[in-house]
Chain A
Amino acid sequence: MSAYFLRRLWQMVPTMAGVVLLVFLLFHWVGGDPAYILAGKMSDAQAIANIRAQLGLDQPYPLQLWKFVRQIVTFDFGNSWATGEPVAHIITSRLGPSLTVLLPLTILETGIGIALALALAFVRGSRLDRAVMVACTVGMSVSILVYIIAFQYGLAYKLGWFPVQGWGDSLGQNLLHYAPLPILIGLCVSIAPTLRLYRSFVLDEAGQDYVQTARAKGLSERRIVWVHVLRNAAIPIITHVSANLPALLIGAFLLERFFGIPGIGREVILAVERSDFPVIKAITVYVAAATMLFNLLADVLYQAVDPRVQLA
């Protein structure tokens, strides 16, 4: 097990090196000279040269790359170009609000998705099953923007059931007062694709021999679905959820932006708008690292729930 772990970590090194190289190339070679962006419209050659020297842009590329690697390892990306806030502080302080929305959302989405997918397994192939699937396709076709705009206008602005936007300082207030509407919208948007995916996992299992065996020995359909099928369908579901967590952190950027939640996603949008390169670079590199680690976690979990799987 630990040998497997070490080998997987070792295999991440070239991928991580690739990510660092890709981000470095994007920002130092594809993109324009950031000194011009920083200097603004009223710039002269002297000011630009100063900024370039300050950022180390006048040094050779290998030296800059080395500096970038050192920044990543030491978690020190300097200060944001836009606000002067340390980048490390931006990331750590934005993580909490993001998780306040994302953790309840993920738990609810997974729970509801599994329950609905199993319920649909009872009526697979029926008219109801088909109708739900078409409804899911229609639901997925409406842009997430439309959900957010309509729900924010209808439920918060018109009916006043929820605050239109905002964020407080205490976890309780955020969780109970500000987060429910974003979570509700997130659920509406994500339940359709989730249900489709989980349904395919469940149906994969429903055709297996052990299901026939269970049926042959006289178990009730309910017990077959909720005990036998669920335990096996849970394997791909668990790996799917854990592997997707880092992407979710960014994926909620629209919710965070509309509802004024100071999370990671909104920070990315702000950074792109302001050309705040240190923040984007840091978030990209760390999210990529998190994605790799969670993929490994998914594989380990896979083995934990399915003893047949050998990690070798």
Chain B
Amino acid sequence: MTTASPGLWMLAWRRLRADRIAMLALAVVTAFLLLLALSASGVVAADWEREVGVNYAPPTFMGAAAASAAVQTASVALPPNPFDPLAADIAALGRSGTVVAPAAKRTTLPFGADKWGHDIVKKTVKGAQTSIVVGLGAAVLAVVLGTLFGAFAGFYGGAVDDLFNWFYSVFTSIPAILMILTVAAVLQQKGIVTIVLILGLTGWTGPFRLIRAEYIKHKGREYVLAAHAIGASNWRKMFAHIFPNVSHVALVQLSILVVGFIKAEVILSFLGFGVPVGTVSWGSMLGEAQNELILGKWWQLAAAASAMALLVTAFSLLTDALRDALDPKLK
């Protein structure tokens, strides 16, 4: 990227460096991405599904008083049941030594536990992985589609442009969230790939409009005419010559869409149209937290909400700074 037009990117980076808030936001976003990499590779939070605490174990900083209140009365061992059809099998299993006594469950955890005793910190990290992967994946898909469509429409013009514009007006006349819900209703299957596809296939309109305008602006410039004169193919003109000069628009759009899609994924998963059962995301955590709050167990809500708010705030501030840095005429 830097070889194509080092001036723009170097200048932008210098402007970004001068902005203290932007650098802080960049650090936070990098930290989240690092966490994502560690979590995806199984270094951290791989064992989030282990039930390490008692049900709804409170956060450690709330003290022992809260902890003792939360501990349920230990269940009394059941008397042997002479009609238990599995009794002999279980006894055999016990003798063979494969049944290990369940590890002692902790009464408090650093940031509490959920209904099943999962560590909230690990769960939030795992949820972050899902939400960020969905947000990034869908945003990349939407920007790639928008860029391709925009490049063709802007570069060729005429009937091609009309066709893509028709596409664009059809997609924009249906409100985004209605479009997403409609596609979710039709697809009838849950999964990370499905939700990435839903968000990506409905979200390409924003990048399309801007990239198309850039291509219309650039296709008549001297450097494109020069490329034409030395016999470059249309494909080469579009993506080797023009694209590096408009890629900053795509980057800003990507950044805007990531924020929007992370929020959308949370809402979809909350409603139960998003990630499948057994996968944790910030949205599914908020879904559980809604009922827990009535019982006074606020920590899962607080963890998921603040992790998401932190990332999205940082990402939004970074987006704003990026736009200012890449387009100094604005502001």
Contact = CB atoms under 8 A, between A and B. Distances in A.
Interface string A269-280: 101110101001
Contacts of A275: 185, 188
Interface of A: 14-16, 18-19, 22-23, 26-27, 30-32, 37, 134, 137-138, 140-146, 149-150, 153, 157, 246-247, 250-251, 253-254, 257, 268-269, 271-273, 275, 277, 280, 283-284, 287-288, 291-292
B168 to A, nearest CB: 10
Interface string B266-281: 1100111100000000
B170 A283 contact: no
Given A273-B272, A287-B175, A149 B290 contact: yes
Contacts of B186: 26-27, 30-31
B170 A145 contact: no
B166 interface: yes
Q: In terms of DSSP, what is the predominant structure of the interface of chain A?
A: helix
Most chain-A Cβ atoms within 10 A of its Cβ — which of B184, B283, B313?
A: B313
Given A142-B305, A146-B286, A149-B289, A19 B313 contact: no
Q: Give the size range of B's interface with the partner.
A: 35 or more
B320 interface: yes
B166 A14 contact: yes
Given A26-B183, A153-B294, A283-B178, A143 B286 contact: yes
A53 to B, nearest CB: 22
Contacts of A146: 286, 301, 305, 309
Given A143-B266, A250-B178, 12 more contacts: A15-B166, A15-B173, A134-B317, A137-B316, A137-B320, A141-B309, A141-B316, A145-B286, A146-B286, A272-B273, A275-B188, A280-B182
Nearest to B320: A137
Contacts of B267: 143-145, 254
Interface in B1-39: 21
A22 to B, nearest CB: 6
Given A149-B301, A273-B272, A287 B178 contact: yes
Contacts of A142: 305, 308-309
A15 B170 contact: yes
CB-CB nearest 3 A-B residue pairs: A18-B170, A31-B186, A141-B312
A272 B293 contact: no
A277 B185 contact: yes
B177 A251 contact: yes
Nearest to B305: A146
Nearest to A253: B177
Nearest to B186: A31
A18 B312 contact: no
B173 A19 contact: yes
B187 interface: yes
Contacts of B293: 149, 153
20 contacts: A18-B166, A18-B170, A30-B186, A31-B185, A137-B320, A142-B305, A143-B282, A143-B308, A146-B305, A149-B301, A246-B175, A247-B178, A272-B185, A273-B272, A283-B178, A284-B179, A288-B173, A288-B174, A291-B173, A291-B175
Contacts of A145: 266-267, 270, 283, 286
B81 interface: no
A21 to B, nearest CB: 8
B188 A31 contact: yes
B286 A30 contact: no
Given A19-B170, A250-B177, A287-B174, A138 B289 contact: no
Contact of B181 (A143, A144, A268, A277): A268
Interface in B179-205: 179, 181-188
Nearest to B293: A153
Interface in B278-328: 282-283, 286, 289-290, 293-294, 301, 305, 308-313, 316-317, 320
Given A27-B186, A142-B305, A247-B175, A269 B313 contact: no
Contacts of B167: 18
